[in-house]
Amino acid sequence: AQSVTQLDSQVPVFEEAPVELRCNYSSSVSVYLFWYVQYPNQGLQLLLKYLSGSTLVESINGFEAEFNKSQTSFHLRKPSVHISDTAEYFCAVSDRGGSYIPTFGRGTSLIVHP
């Protein structure tokens, strides 16, 4: 079984500042990792994913995440945030070769202030 820990329930930041949302996971097998974003009153949308290959993955809107196997982490970063990035962010992990059903973290609310 796998688990996901998102250490920060809320991250306030000013516009154009950098941000990091932390995600740590535990699993006895190799994993796939995902970040989802949820804007107010909407469902979740896939932001980016790590399946294999390069440990640094990027999204189309400037976010990136790095898979660190030794630290079992998959932190999400953005060098300069916008007001429109205000949302809830969920990290998720699923086992390779298992049911593929992901386990979600509790979410981090990113609040971008002008």
The least distance separating another protein from the CB of residue 69, rounded to whole angstroms, comes to: 19
d(Cα 24, Cα 5) in Å, to the nearest integer? Answer: 5
Q: According to CB under 8 A, which one of 53, 97, 101, 114 is a site residue for another protein?
A: 101
The three-class DSSP label of residue 104 is strand
Q: According to CB under 8 A, which one of 3, 10, 30, 45 is a site residue for another protein?
A: 45
Spatial contact of 32 and 50, defined as CB atoms under 8 Å apart: yes
d(Cα 82, Cα 84) in Å, to the nearest integer? Answer: 5
The least distance separating another protein from the CB of residue 78, rounded to whole angstroms, comes to: 19
Which residues would be at the binding site for another protein (CB under 8 A)? 6, 9, 32, 34, 36, 41-46, 49, 51, 90, 100-102, 104-107
